[in-house]
Structure 1
Amino acid sequence: MSSSRSKGSSKGSGSSSSKNGKSSQSTRQLIESLTTHRVNTLTELCRIERVAASCESEDDARAFQGPMTAAWAYYVSSNQMLSELRGLTPNYPFCGDILTYAQALVRSDPDSNRSWNLAWLCLVKIVEGNLVATYAMSEAARPEMWGETQPDEEQIQQLAACFEYEWNGAVQAMLQHWTVAPTWY
Structure 2
Amino acid sequence: MSSSRSGRSKSGSSSGKKSKGSHQSVRQLIESLQTHRVNTLTELCRIERVAASCETEEDARAFQSPMTAAWAYYVSSNQMLSELRGLTPKFPFCGDILSHAQVLVRNDPESNRSWNLAWLCLVKITEDELIETYAASEASRPEMWGGRQPSDEEAKELAACFQYEWDTAVQKMLRHWQATPTWC
TM-score (norm 2): 0.93
> Does the Cα contact within 8 Å between 2:9 and 2:15 map onto a contact in 1?
no
Shift of 1:109: 0.6
RMSD: 1.3
Residue ranges of structure 1 left out of the alignment (5+ in a row): 1-7
1:27-66 pair list within 5 angstroms: 27-66=26-65
Q: Which residue of 1 aligns with 2:162?
A: 163
1:73-152 pair list within 5 angstroms: 73-152=72-151
What letter corresponds to residue 15 of structure 1 in structure 2?
S
Shift of 1:149: 3.5
Give the 3-state SS of the residue equivalent to 1:103 in structure 2: helix
Question: Structure 1 segments of 4 or more deviating over 3 A?
Answer: 8-14
Q: Does the C-alpha gap of structure 1 residues 117 and 9 become closer, same or farther in structure 2, counting only changes over 3 Å? A: closer
Shift of 1:150: 3.2
> Does the Cα contact within 8 Å between 2:116 and 2:181 map onto a contact in 1?
yes
How far does the alpha carbon of each residue in 1:107-137 deviate from its partner, in whole angstroms, 9 at most, with x for none?
A: 0011111100000000000000000000000
Moved more, 66-75 or 139-148: 139-148
Structure 2 Cα separation of the partners of residues 45 and 154 of structure 1: 41
Shift of 1:17: 1.8
How far does the alpha carbon of each residue in 1:125-165 deviate from its partner, in whole angstroms, 9 at most, with x for none?
A: 00000000000000001110011443110000000000000
Q: Does the C-alpha gap of structure 1 residues 17 and 136 become closer, same or farther in structure 2, counting only changes over 3 Å? A: same
Residue ranges of structure 2 left out of the alignment (5+ in a row): 1-6
> Quick one: percent identity of the two aligned structures?
74
What letter corresponds to residue 156 of structure 2 in structure 1?
Q
Structure 2 Cα separation of the partners of residues 9 and 158 of structure 1: 66
Structure 2 Cα separation of the partners of residues 79 and 137 of structure 1: 23
What letter corresponds to residue 74 of structure 2 in structure 1?
Y
Q: Does the C-alpha gap of structure 1 residues 9 and 133 become closer, same or farther in structure 2, counting only changes over 3 Å? A: closer
Moved more, 140-149 or 102-111: 140-149
Q: Does the C-alpha gap of structure 1 residues 46 and 9 become closer, same or farther in structure 2, counting only changes over 3 Å? A: closer
TM-score (norm 1): 0.93
How far does the alpha carbon of each residue in 1:79-98 deviate from its partner, in whole angstroms, 9 at most, with x for none?
A: 00000000000000000000
Aligned residue-pair number? 178
Q: Which residue of 1 aligns with 2:152?
A: 153
> Does the Cα contact within 8 Å between 2:91 and 2:165 map onto a contact in 1?
yes
Q: Which residue of 2 aligns with 1:3?
A: none
Structure number, greater radius of gyration: 1
Give the 3-state SS of the residue equivalent to 1:94 in structure 2: coil
Structure 1 Cα separation of the partners of residues 108 and 11 of structure 2: 49
